[in-house]
């Protein structure tokens, strides 16, 4: 078992060796992994050839590329596969600029949630969502460039090295047995539903609630892939609307992918598919001029989805549910899909909802294991929560 120090020794060798030696001085086993694409430096415990060999097309697909960008991308894929094959990683520390950050975090993201991951980076003070993704990577701003050791870089890198050593050495106590983990998705407009579900299910399951902001759904599915969630109650699939229309809280094409891969018991619903999310009103793209909007708060502007868009959502979700061969139930709340999609509320639109529900009926191939369940309730009504709990107990049995 060891902490893996990750980076390109041909350009960051001195800094990487410094971090490795500080970790070793704490009595923590450590391995320096060289990710250079132009050949090894001899400083590392694991050379680039060994990592590159994990690429699906072999080491030749990684090493010796004339194009640096292609080489870094290939090494990133090789690192991800290399780390995924290891069972001895107690922590990971990376150092570098934008190229090293993209390369190293590509590998870090495959490590299970809970394994310490620190990236000391020149780009850590900006938007790091592309590097962190749905993982628990801690980004540390390097302050100075990672280009030699000085009194600032020694302190920053040293802090990071001691931090990852401490996390690897002093792992939090594990709770054995206990309740099964249950992943749940929530938005402000479905909070009333999820609160009812939690109140009913908390005695039986350990509920992990994820904010459906794009990365929230991805984080939940990463835990599903990692085996840390034994069931899913996905009542807020709003990220699909942003993905297909162009909002800021979009999922990826892999939404529902973990459900299909793992066959985890699944109960879902079209929560908050009545809206697409943008930032402040002035950030809404001009092409949406004339649409129906609702200002949720000064930084979040909601746009009502149309019947045509809702039909697309239903078909998209249906196609992905059809790939799921585990126990699947998808509930249709005929009374409305969000707090502001109800009679008298700004997004109440029975025609748009009907298009969504009809597309689900047409697209989902129902079997003994995969079923649609229609309820007359609004998604936040107690009757809907009761139906969702009943469906969950059925699939988890």
- For the stretch 149-165, pLDDT in tens is 999 999 999 999 999 99
Look-up of token digits 């969504």: 356
- Spans of all domains in the chain: 2-169, 180-396
Q: Within a 10 A sphere around the Cβ of 162, how many other Cβ atoms? A: 16
| Helices marked H in the chain | 9-25, 48-52, 68-84, 98-108, 129-132, 151-169, 191-201, 215-225, 239-245, 257-262, 307-321, 350-363, 382-396
Confidence of residue 177 (pLDDT cuts 50, 70, 90): low
**What is the model's pTM?**
0.78
Q: Within a 10 A sphere around the Cβ of 50, how many other Cβ atoms? A: 16
Q: Quote the distance between the C-alpha of residue 378 and its chain's center.
A: 28
Third-level CATH fold of 180-396: Rossmann fold (3.40.50)
Confidence of residue 180 (pLDDT cuts 50, 70, 90): confident
**DSSP notation for 87-131:** S-EEEEEEEESHHHHHHHHHHHTTSPTTS-EEEEETTTTS--HHH
Report the chain's mean pLDDT, rounded to a whole number.
93
Do 180-396 and 2-169 have the same topology in CATH? yes
Sheet with 370-375, side-by-side order of all strands: 205-211, 180-186, 231-234, 266-268, 328-333, 370-375
Q: Does domain 2-169 have CATH number 3.40.50.12020?
A: yes
Q: How far apart (Å, rounded) are the C-alpha atoms in residues 212 and 272?
A: 10
Q: How far apart (Å, rounded) are the C-alpha atoms in residues 180 and 107?
A: 28
In contact, 273 and 356? CB cutoff 8 Å: yes
């Amino acid at each position: 078992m060891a902490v893996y120090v990750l980076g390109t020794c041909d350009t960051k060798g001195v800094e990487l060796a410094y971090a490795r030696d500080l970790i070793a001085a704490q009595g923590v086993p450590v391995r320096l992994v060289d990710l250079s694409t132009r050949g090894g430096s001899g400083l590392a415990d694991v050379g680039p050839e060994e990592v590159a060999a994990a690429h699906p097309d072999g080491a030749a697909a990684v090493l010796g590329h004339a194009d640096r960008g292609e080489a870094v991308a290939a090494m990133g894929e090789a690192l991800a596969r290399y780390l995924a094959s290891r069972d001895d990683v107690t922590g990971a520390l990376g150092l570098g600029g934008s190229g090293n950050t993209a390369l190293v975090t590509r590998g870090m993201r495959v490590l299970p949630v809970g394994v310490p991951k620190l990236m000391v980076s020149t780009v850590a003070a900006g938007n790091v969502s592309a590097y962190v993704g749905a993982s628990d990577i801690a980004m540390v701003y390097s302050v100075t460039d990672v280009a030699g050791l000085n009194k600032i870089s020694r302190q920053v890198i040293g802090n990071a090295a001691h931090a990852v050593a401490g996390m690897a050495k002093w792992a939090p106590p594990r709770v054995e047995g206990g309740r099964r983990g249950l992943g749940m998705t929530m938005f402000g407009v479905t909070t009333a539903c999820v609160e009812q579900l939690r109140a009913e299910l908390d005695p039986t399951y350990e509920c992990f609630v994820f904010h459906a902001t794009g990365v929230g759904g991805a984080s939940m599915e990463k835990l599903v892939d990692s085996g840390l969630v034994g069931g899913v109650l996905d009542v807020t699939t709003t990220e699909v609307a942003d993905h297909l229309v162009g909002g800021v809280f979009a999922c990826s094409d892999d939404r529902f992918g973990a459900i299909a891969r793992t066959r985890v018991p699944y109960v879902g619903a079209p929560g908050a598919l009545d809206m697409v999310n943008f930032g402040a009103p002035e950030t809404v793209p001009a092409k949406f001029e004339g649409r129906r909007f609702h200002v949720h708060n000064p930084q979040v502007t909601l746009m009502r989805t149309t019947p045509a868009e809702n039909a697309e959502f239903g078909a998209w979700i249906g196609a992905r549910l059809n790939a799921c061969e585990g126990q699947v139930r998808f509930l249709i709340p005929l009374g409305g899909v969000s707090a502001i999609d109800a009679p008298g509320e700004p997004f109440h639109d029975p025609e748009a909802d009907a298009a969504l529900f009809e597309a689900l009926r047409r697209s989902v191939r129902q079997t003994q294991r995969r079923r649609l369940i229609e309820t007359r309730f609004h998604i936040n009504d107690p009757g809907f929560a009761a139906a969702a709990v009943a469906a969950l107990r059925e699939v988890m049995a």
